[in-house]
Amino acid sequence: MNAPNDNTAPKGLREWWLTPPRPGMQRLIYPYEYRHLRFFGVGRVAGGSAAAAAGVVCLSYGVYGWAAFFLAIGALNLAGGSWYLTIARSASA
């Protein structure tokens, strides 16, 4: 009836955010994304490429405000995706 407490999950938000342990700027990455860095890195690169393509299409139609928006979003996603893939590549096996 009284089973031992086998729940080893972190109790609070602070402990949850710090698992798995990671150094410096890598703490900015959402923990679930950090556990699957390669998948989310490829997804960000693909999304950034699609946003950049939408920006180029907007440029061709002369809609410069939307083009700037999509190109900025695309650049940020490409930078984030390459950062994720760099971290995943440098991680130990």
Q: Which of 61, 60, 42 is nearest to 50 (CA)?
A: 42
What does the pLDDT look like over 35-72, one tens digit per residue?
889 999 999 999 999 999 999 999 999 999 999 999 99
Mean pLDDT, residues 4-28 taken together: 66
Count CA atoms closer than 13 A to 5's CA, side-chain side: 4
Mean pLDDT, residues 75-85 taken together: 96
Count CA atoms closer than 13 A to 13's CA, side-chain side: 1
Count other Cβ atoms within 10 Å, centred on residue 56: 13
This prediction's pTM: 0.76
Residue 91 has pLDDT above 80, yes or no: no
Count other Cβ atoms within 10 Å, centred on residue 54: 17
